[in-house]
Chains A and B, each alone.
Chain A
């Protein structure tokens, strides 16, 4: 099965699907590109640094 056929199959197999106006998704797309994804990348890196510090904590109670 080629890629185009697979893509079509998913939507063809579901009844009642209708196209969505891309403008309705634009605000979400802009927020993801401009704010959320950069923030996610930053926070994941920050967590990695914090985890590196806590790896040496002693646990012995």
Chain B
């Protein structure tokens, strides 16, 4: 039932073949793991006869109907560091720090399906042990029950496509929705077979799902799951469409994984993170955006281990700039689209003389969605950075649930993770609002907007607030939605 494979080098993963029967594809899996996992993984626990609900959902509806006999059970691989050993007789995991700390030395799991091809099923692996994983990854905590222990791993779900009953787009939808069900308790869990059904108005049956999905089918999956998908497509008639990529990075920075389509490759992936380029004094004139500072995206691609780093341009097999449409599965109350924020953000410099912004052509703009409560929590944790009057303002304003935050940083501030000023935009604002703001502030001035009336009066609906400079070089950049990878 259980077997332990100690690893001193990645080549030791070849032992998997001795413990796992060929229908689970151990040779291919070992090769894939050896090429993509770091040497911090020092032990693999093989759990046989594992009942995997995702595989079972496809087994009951497809594999059990075939003439060829498929097994009903899976194998699950668990990854540990060097402090953990396994007592095969006592069926007990031993950790140098004690059993209560097993999760600190656990890197996640990978289910192997008995399907002969594309055998990697539901997996949640920590980005910390993925070679080359990007710096910032969207993750959730996943509970794992093993041998009576309750373990925890922080990662993003992934799986290979089944090929015969599901394709890349199903796998990307499944990954995103599994993340949602773990991260937000408002969303339920959807199994692989559920996803293939949700894509269509009726059950297409048989192998129809393997013929591929259209982007509209993916949109339908997210609608059926109870989210409010926003579908954004690059304007390919123009030479470039930087606003498209700025919005893409804004949603990822907001903690929303994206269903990303690449038309020329006929491929879909989930975008789940990014890596900033190394800050350098470029002395380049002109305003820039956070997207201009992104070096690579992290994607969950069903042909690779998760967190595949994809350079913005010049990558193989594809680049970030090959993405030409994406779907972001938003909660209901985000009415003000990223396109509007993208146009509004540079216009806010016209309030610069009142608020005190850095010169426009020396500024890096970053925008993202967060909740009012996350914003309050962020400033509460850094209250020494804020004039108490500003802190009180942020605690007092009756934000709607979601807000867009625009941060303005000089190049020097950007390099050290700081910002000069912030604007808080109402995510429930309508497109035609002249002042869709709650607040805009620097370290010396703030503008406060009264949004308790529909017709904002410039005389009475906006107030200024003189702030005391708290003596720092900038406010901390708000980075709360993605987990920094701790490479092991």
Contact = CB atoms under 8 A, between A and B. Distances in A.
B300 to A, nearest CB: 14
B389 A37 contact: no
Contact of B232 (A15, A37, A51): A51
B interface, size bucket? 35 or more
Contacts of B447: 20
Contacts of B337: 44, 47
Given A46-B235, A58-B266, A16 B389 contact: yes
Given A10-B398, A18-B465, A51-B233, A28 B459 contact: no
B231 A54 contact: yes
Given A36-B344, A59-B267, A61-B168, A19 B434 contact: no
Contacts of A31: 347, 350
A interface, size bucket? 35 or more
Contacts of B463: 11, 14, 17-20
B450 A11 contact: yes
A50 B458 contact: no
A40 to B, nearest CB: 5
A50 B214 contact: no
A40 B343 contact: yes
B488 interface: no
A58 to B, nearest CB: 5
B227 to A, nearest CB: 16
A24 B434 CA distance: 15
Contacts of A33: 434
Interface string A24-44: 110111011101110111011
- Judged by DSSP, the binding face of B is mixed
B432 A41 contact: yes
A61 B431 contact: no
A54 B263 contact: yes
Contacts of A18: 463-466
B424 to A, nearest CB: 14
Interface in B215-233: 215-216, 218-219, 231-233
B171 to A, nearest CB: 10
B169 interface: yes
Contacts of A15: 389, 392
A11 to B, nearest CB: 6
Contacts of A13: 396
B214 A58 contact: yes
A51 B325 contact: yes
Most buried by B among A43, A47, A53: A47
Contacts of A51: 231-233, 325
B346 to A, nearest CB: 9
Interface in B47-94: none
B452 A3 contact: yes
Contact of A24 (B353, B396, B398, B435): B353
A59 B266 CA distance: 4
A36 B337 CA distance: 14
Contact of A14 (B219, B393, B452): B393
B191 interface: no
B40 interface: no
Nearest to B389: A16
A52 B303 CA distance: 28
B459 to A, nearest CB: 6
Contacts of A55: 214-216, 219, 231
A20 B457 CA distance: 11
Contacts of B216: 55-56
Nearest to B458: A22
B458 A29 contact: yes
B450 A40 contact: no
Contacts of B458: 20, 22, 25, 29
What are the nearest 10 A-B pairs in CB distance? A60-B212, A17-B463, A55-B216, A50-B233, A61-B267, A28-B350, A59-B169, A54-B233, A22-B458, A51-B231
6 contacts: A14-B463, A18-B463, A25-B458, A32-B347, A39-B343, A60-B212
Interface of B: 167-169, 210-216, 218-219, 231-235, 243, 261, 263, 265-268, 303, 324-325, 337, 339-340, 343-344, 347-348, 350-351, 353-354, 389, 392-393, 396-398, 431-435, 447-448, 450, 452-453, 458-459, 462-466
Interface of A: 3, 6-7, 10-11, 13-20, 22, 24-25, 27-29, 31-33, 35-37, 39-41, 43-44, 46-47, 50-51, 53-61
Given A40-B344, A47-B233, A55-B215, 16 more contacts: A19-B463, A25-B351, A27-B350, A28-B348, A29-B458, A37-B431, A37-B432, A40-B339, A44-B337, A44-B431, A51-B233, A56-B215, A57-B266, A60-B169, A61-B168, A61-B265
